Amino acid sequence: MLIYRGKIRKIMATATGLFFLTTSAFSVTSKRPSVSLFVNKVHSFRLRAANIEGSEIEGKEEVGISEKKKIFVAGATGNTGKRIVEQLLAKGFAVKAGVLDVDKAKSTLPGQNPDLQIVKADVTEGSARLADAIGNDSDAVICATGFRRSLDFLAPWKVDNFGTINLVEACRTLGVKRFLLVSSILVNGAAMGQLFNPAYVFLNVLGLTLIAKLQAEQYIRRSGINYTIIRPGGLKNDPPQGNIVMEQEDTLYEGSISRDQVAEVAVEALLHPESHYKVVEIVARTEAPKRSFKELFGSIKQQ
């Protein structure tokens, strides 16, 4: 017996006349499901099935569905990575945080948040293990990794080059179509005529860091994945001072920006299709006008 709007209708069925409606989006949890619950569940299933390649990734409130988009963040306990995690959660996303030390991450990242999952993920251990960490429930991957300074001069290549490539290959294995990388301005400094720029010289002394990042960027661009490469200026832990300036690749060679703003750009890139297949360089300037992210990303040409 099913109840619809207070009226009772008896439905008789013979053994040969039974009909079962099954769908992955609807499971009976009560003997008396309401019409509105059934419609909402089917609507949610249809929305999830209509995941068109290249469309923007939207939060729960923006698409009206019951399941949040899940974003995998590599380097989630880094100074920039943890800010990305916090802002993703604030925007209504679910987050899978890839970290080296799970116990440490539990004390660093927002605790007791049902939308946050912490998993062990070492980008240097190969794409197969990363694919297991990312899982088949991630809608996009953000790479915010960075090597730790040490006497190992290959560290930048292990993390910023091969590690990033491993993440891309894991995405290709899983069918994850959206990839964001936090890189750096001046990665192509030699081609920009900035070979003797102090920042370019300093960073490359530490294991040719910028060259390692540049080659990883080139791999991403050849991979066919829908990418946004974000090249920030000097990173500051201080609160934002000034508005974001966004320029074409190989344009900016000086300037700084708050890590909070870098995280904001990364999260907003998920929400704006104008960011697709683009390399953007960002700094903050007090004299710069306030511009919307749609306008900022839209001002950058695809290369």
Residues catalogued as catalytic: 184
Q: Which residues of 153-167 are buried (b: 16+ CB within 10 A; e: fewer)?
A: eebbbbbbbbbbbbb
Instruction: Report the C-alpha gap between 230 and 266 in whole angstroms.
Output: 7
Residue type, position 135, single letter: G
- CB 118 within 8 Å of CB 74: no
The overall longest dimension of the chain from CA atoms, in Å, is 85
Tokens describing residue 210: 């910028």
What DSSP letter does each residue of 101-142 carry, written as one string?
Answer: -HHHHHHHSPTT-TTEEEEE--GGG-HHHHHHHH-TT-SEEE
Residue 37 sits at φ, ψ, to 5 deg, of -65, -45
- Tokens (6 digits) for 69: 């988009």
- Residue 207 neighbours by CB distance under 10 Å: 21
